Amino acid sequence: MIQSSPSKPISARKGKGKITNHDYDDLRPTITYRHILSQNLGVRDPLRVIALCDSDAFYAACERVRLGLDPSAPLVVQQWESLIAVSYPARKYGISRMDKVKDAKKKCPNLVAVHVATYKEGEKEPGYWEDIDTRTHKVSLDLYRRESSKIINIMKQSVPSGEIEKASTDEAFLDLSRPVRERLLERYPYLAKLPDDAPEGADSPLPPPPPIDWSQLGELVPLTAQGEESKPQDEISYENDHLTSWHDVALSIGAELVAKLREEIFRQLGYTMSAGIARNKFLAKLCASYKKPNSQSILRNNAIPSYLRPMPFQKIRFLGGKLGDALAKEYDVSTVGDLLTVSLDEMQNKFGENAVWVYELLRGIDASEVKERTALFKSMLASKNLPKPITTLDDGQHWIRVLAAELALRLNDAREEVPTLWPKTIVLHARKGYETSRSKQAAFPFTKDVSVDVIASAGNKLWKELVGDATNVNVTNVQLAFTGIETTETGQQSIDAFFKTKDVQRQPLKRSRDYNEELSRSESDGREKKERSWTSFVCDRCQIRFALRDDQLDWSDDERARALATLQQEHQDFHFARDLENGSLPQKTGSSSRPASKRGRGAEPRGIAKFFGKK
In the complex, the residues that contact DNA under the rule CB under 7 A are 79, 82-84, 97-98, 139, 141, 167-171, 317-323, 377-385, 425, 436-443, 465, 481
Q: How far is the CB of 500 from DNA (least distance, A)?
A: 26
**Phi and psi torsions of 404, nearest 5°:** -60, -40
Closest CA to 51 of 188, 252, 313: 252
Report, in Å, the least distance between residue 275 CB and DNA.
14
**Beta-carbon neighbour count of residue 352 at 10 Å?**
9
Q: Which is nearer to DNA, 298 or 407 (CB)?
A: 407
Angle at 143 between CA 141 and CA 145, to 5 degrees: 70
Q: Which residue, 383 or 572, is less far from DNA as judged by CB? A: 383
Q: Which is nearer to DNA, 10 or 84 (CB)?
A: 84
Cβ nearer to DNA, comparing 123 with 263: 123
Q: Shortest approach of DNA to residue 362 CB, angstroms?
A: 15
- Shortest reach from residue 378's CB to DNA, in Å: 3
As measured in angstroms, the least distance from the Cβ of 462 to DNA is 8
Q: How far is the CB of 110 from DNA (least distance, A)?
A: 23
Q: Indicate the residue among 22 and 371 with the shorter CB distance to DNA.
A: 371
* Angstrom distance (rounded) from CA 390 to CA 410: 25
Residue 295 identity (one-letter amino acid):
S
Could you tell me if 561 and 535 are in contact, meaning their C-beta atoms sit under 8 angstroms apart?
A: no
Give dist(CA 421, CA 544) in Å, integer.
Answer: 10
Between CA 347 and CA 345 the distance in angstroms is 5
C-alpha–C-alpha distance, residues 380 and 402, integer Å? 15
Q: 444 or 498: whose CB is closer to DNA?
A: 444
Min separation Cβ 575 and DNA, Å = 25
Q: How many helical (H) and strand (E) elements, i.e. helices and strands, does the chain have?
A: 18, 17
Residue 138 or 262: the one with the smaller Cβ distance to DNA is 138
Work out how close the CB of 171 gets to DNA at its nearest, in angstroms, rounded to a whole number: 6
Nearer Cβ to DNA (59/307): 59
53 in Cβ contact with 258 (< 8 Å): yes
Other CB atoms closer than 10 Å to residue 436's CB: what's the count? 6
Cα–Cα distances (Å) from 478 to 107, 346, 438, 474, 481, in that order, read 36, 46, 10, 11, 10
CA distances from 425 to 51, 306, 337, 399, 457 (A): 35, 49, 47, 19, 14
For 470, residues 6+ apart whose C-beta sits below 8 A from its C-beta are none
Q: Is 600 exposed, middle or buried (0-12, 13-18, 19+ CB in 10 A)?
A: exposed
Closest approach of Cβ 274 to DNA, in Å? 12
Nearer to DNA (CB atom), residue 188 or residue 357: 357
